[in-house]
Structure 1
Amino acid sequence: MVAAQLSARELFRAAYENRYTWDANFPGYRANVTYSDGNQSWQGAVEVSADLKPSISGIEEPEVVKLIHGQLFEVAIHRVRRGFEDTHGKNEFEFGNSDNDGTVEILVNGKSAGDRYKVRDNEVVLVHRHIHGVVVTINTFSTHKSAEGYLSHRYDSVYHDPTTGEQKGDRSEFEDEYITVGGYQLLSARTIRSDSGTISFRFSDLELLS
């Protein structure tokens, strides 16, 4: 069993470093966007700069702009390449439970005590983190493979109050699609389903900034 050969820190670090990220030469990109809430759709243009700042043009509705900006920002944040020690150097790790399918739970002590993860096949398949005054739990059900690492394909997320455990908002189910542009993986579509309905973001004519 892999967990028996590696320490909890080594196992988690390997999966962490297997995530797909953009390198320091990432130039940013532009694309056309179509956002739909099931009843209406809006079309515009987006740009994510080399320093990963999104901007949206061609759409007047502030709430729609905010939604698109939020998704682009969330994607960009997950593409930032941060060293394991920079992110987790002050944490300690120990094994939790193991499942028959090879999933291994990693419990965190130290700076981020109370957080936990699950690792399977060198991928992080569960994230349970305290962040910005809430607890977010993300289960990953399938991934996209690339030579530079994996990206989440189908996953969900739910937020809870860290003190009471009360759920905050809907559980959301995500499905992401990526295409390769100039050697970089860029989001081409995201669908989000929840009790509130289904929304989708479609990105076309993606091209890197010069």
Structure 2
Amino acid sequence: MVGYPKLAQSDETNINNQSATDILKDAYNNRYVWNKDFPGYTANVSATYNNQEDKGSIEVKSSIKKLKVKNVENSEIADLIRGQIMMEVNHRQSIPYEQLHGQNTLVIKNIESTTASIEEKGKDGALYKIKDRVILQVDRSMPNNMTVTVDTLETNKTSDGYLASEYLSTLKNINTNELIQEAYSIDDHEKVGNFYLLNSRRIYLSKVPDKNSQADISIKFDNFKLGVDF
């Protein structure tokens, strides 16, 4: 059982008189995303994985549909960096709520104190836990008979929404419930101009890691420059 701490900078809300759609939409729109003026950016990157280290640079285009990892010689590390940046980009995209969830049916499964459990029925259905306008948990089915559960454990608040700073990802076999992988991630973001950009991600392949120890995967970004065209 994952324990959810009271988020230090959360917005207290009364969810008892809200619909499932209102609760999810409010939390969805409370996330930090890049706005339409996002210009893209470049940065230097260094990464450590399997006791190997490599470094290079990245380019993320303003459309967010194209990115490059450059001058990283280790192909495994290059793929790792690309995958993690793509994950970050996907979470920073500004996609209208109705486009992703408007065609699905939402049902409140349970309300316990200030936490609502919501089931989304539809093509991309999922289970959500929401508290104080923060999506604490997403549980959804994946290809190849797998389920992934992402628990948001800590957040940072900005004037434009919250950023998840610590979260646990759990991958299981959908038929046997066998654990496939657990990954505890710690993110740091840096404000560059008007945009928050990922400057560090540490990933521990453990549910309860020693945060002072060397992470199994460590990626750092610096020397950010906004604006890129390639």
Question: Does the alignment reach a TM-score above 0.5?
Answer: yes
Instruction: Tell whether the 8 Å contact from 2:54 to 2:74 is kept in structure 1 after alignment.
Output: no
Give, in angstroms, the shift of residue 38 of structure 1. Answer: 6.5
SS at the partner of 2:222? strand
Give, in angstroms, the shift of residue 70 of structure 1. Answer: 0.5
Q: Aligned residue for 1:185? A: 196
Whole-Å separation in 1 of the counterparts to 2:17 and 2:136: 20
Which segment is superposed worse, 68-77 or 87-96? 87-96
Question: How many residue pairs get matched?
Answer: 206
Give, in angstroms, the shift of residue 157 of structure 1. Answer: 0.4
The verdict on how the C-alpha distance between 1:9 and 1:166 changes in structure 2, with shifts beyond 3 A counting, is same
Say which of 86, 105, 119 aligns to 1:92. Answer: 105
RMSD: 1.7
1:113-170 deviation per Cα after TM superposition (whole angstroms, max 9, x unaligned): 4x210101101010011233432100000111111111110001012233333333x2
Return the TM-score normalized by structure 1. Answer: 0.91
Q: Aligned residue for 1:6? A: 18
Unaligned runs of 5+ in 2: 1-12, 207-214
Return the TM-score normalized by structure 2. Answer: 0.84
Q: Aligned residue for 1:46? A: 58
Whole-Å separation in 2 of the counterparts to 1:47 and 1:205: 12
Say which of 45, 67, 70 aligns to 1:33. Answer: 45
Aligned positions of 1:170-181 closer than 5 A:
170-181=181-192
Aligned positions of 1:1-150 closer than 5 A:
2-37=14-49, 39-52=51-64, 53-100=66-113, 102-113=114-125, 115-133=126-144, 134-150=146-162
Whole-Å separation in 1 of the counterparts to 2:20 and 2:31: 17
Whole-Å separation in 2 of the counterparts to 1:109 and 1:38: 40
Higher percent of residues as strand? 1
Say which of 205, 215, 218 aligns to 1:194. Answer: 205
Unaligned runs of 5+ in 1: none
Name the amino acid aligned to 2:48: S
SS at the partner of 1:156? strand
Give, in angstroms, the shift of residue 191 of structure 1. Answer: 0.2
Whole-Å separation in 1 of the counterparts to 2:83 and 2:121: 30
Say which of 177, 185, 204 aligns to 2:222. Answer: 204
